[in-house]
Amino acid sequence: MPRKALLSALPFVLLAGCALQPPDPAPLVEGCANVPVSAAVDDESQQFFFLSTAIPDCRDGGFRLAPYRHPDQTYGSGMYELIEGEAQPPTLAKHDRDDWFMALESAINTHPQRRVIVFIHGYATSFEEAHKDAAEVRALGASNIPLVVLHWPSRNNAQDYLLDRASIGWAQDSIIETLGTLTILADDITLVTHSMGAQAGTSAVLALDELSAANSAVIKRIVLASPDFDRDRALRIGGTVDQLLGRDRKLLVYASEKDKALRASRTVNGYARLGTTSCEFDLVYERRALGKEGNCHLTAPRQGFAIVDTGPSMPGGYLRHNDFLDSCHVRADIAAFLRDEPPPAYRVQIGDEENEGYVIDPSITFDGAPCEPISDD
C-alpha cells in the first residue's frame, strides 16, 4: 500500500467516480505463456504460489499483474532468492491450472503436517506489496510451510476505496472456490487476511462451513489484521466471530485506534470497524462518550479468540494500518500464534469477567522477537 498516499484518502468517495475505463486486456495478455512449475533448488530459495483475478501483463517480455479485473484466473508462482539473508525481487511465472494445483499439492505433501498459509491482501495494495507481506508472514511462521497468495485486482490507489471494495466483492467466488480446493489438499490451513481482505476471507470460510463443514474444519487458524468490516456485526453474540469459532478454530484480531486508514473507511461506512478500538462511532450510543481511548474492542470471552490492541506498540510509519508487520512486538505475537505457542509477555489481558481483550504493552521487557522495526516509505 502506498502509505503516505492515504493522507488524501478522505475525499476518495467523490473521486472514485472519476475512474478511467479499464483497458482492453488483449494487448496485455498476448505474450503470456504457461511454463512448468519450478521447484526451489536449495534452502536459499523461497517459493510461493499465487492465484490472481487481475489481468496478467506480459508486454516487453515481463510478467506483471495489472490493477484491473480479468475474466480468466491466473495461476502462478514466484521464487525469492535470498542473498545474505535478504529476499531479492522474485522471479514470476504463469502456469496451467492443473499443473499449478499438482505442484502445490506436492509442496503441501512435503510438510510433516501438510500445512499451508493462505494470505489475502487489503485495499490499495499492489501485487508486489501483497506477496512481500505474505512472505514476511510465512517467515514468522516457518519457512517450510507452503504459501498461497490470493490476489484480487486492487487499483493500488488510496482514493479508489469504492472501486477496490467492488472488485474484492467481484472476486469473492474465486476466493471461495480456491480456498475450498485447498481444504481438500491440505490438513492444516492458516488464513491470514489484512484490511479489506478480512471481509473476503471470513465470508469465504463461512461459505465453506455451510457447503462442507468436514473439509472446512482444516482451516485451523485465522488472523484478521486491521480488519475493515463492521465491528458490531463481528462481535455481537452469534455474529461473525462466533460463527468462525464454531469449528474449533483459533481466531486472532489486531485492532488499533491509531489506524488512520480505518478512520477513512469509517467515514464511508458510518460505524466502527472491527480493526479499531475507538468508541466514537460504536453502534451503542451510550458507549460513544468513552471516546477514542474507550477500549470498545472488549467483548465477551470466547475460547480460542483474542482481539489485541496494537496501538501502544512502537512500529515505524505514519498510517498504523500495518502494525502486524511494522511492529516488532506484534510480529512476535503473530509468530507465536502461527507456531501454536503462548503469546509473548507483553500481550496483556484487560477488561473484566464480562468483556475482555488484550493490549500490547511495550513497557514490558522485549524478549527477543524475530524481527527488526520496519520503516514506512
pLDDT digits (tens, 9 = 90+) for 230-289: 999 999 999 999 999 988 899 999 999 999 889 888 888 889 999 999 998 778 757 786
0.85 cut: is pTM over it?
yes
Count of other CB atoms within 10 angstroms of residue 84: 5
pLDDT number for residue 61: 83
- How does strand 91-95 pair with strand 115-120? unpaired
What sections of the chain are H helices per DSSP? 12-15, 26-29, 97-110, 127-141, 161-170, 172-185, 197-211, 213-216, 231-235, 240-245, 260-269, 323-326, 328-338
* Residues in the chain with pLDDT values less than 50: 1-17, 369-371, 373-377
Measure the CA–CA gap between 343 and 291, rounded to whole angstroms: 28
Q: CATH homologous superfamily for 3-360? A: Alpha/Beta hydrolase fold, catalytic domain (3.40.50.1820)
Measure the CA–CA gap between 24 and 153, rounded to whole angstroms: 15
Instruction: State the number of CA atoms in the 13 A half-sphere of 97 facing the CB.
Output: 6
Domain extents in the chain: 3-360
The angle that helices 161-170 and 197-211 make with each other, rounded to 10 degrees, is: 20
Is the distance from CB of 233 to CB of 255 less than 8 angstroms?
no
Give the sign of the dihedral formed by CA 258, CA 260, CA 262, CA 264. Answer: positive
Q: Is 228 exposed, middle or buried (0-12, 13-18, 19+ CB in 10 A)?
A: buried
DSSP 19: P
- Number of helical H runs and strand E runs in the chain: 13, 12
pLDDT tens, 176-195? 999 999 999 999 999 999 99
Q: What are phi and psi of 232, to 5 degrees?
A: -65, -40
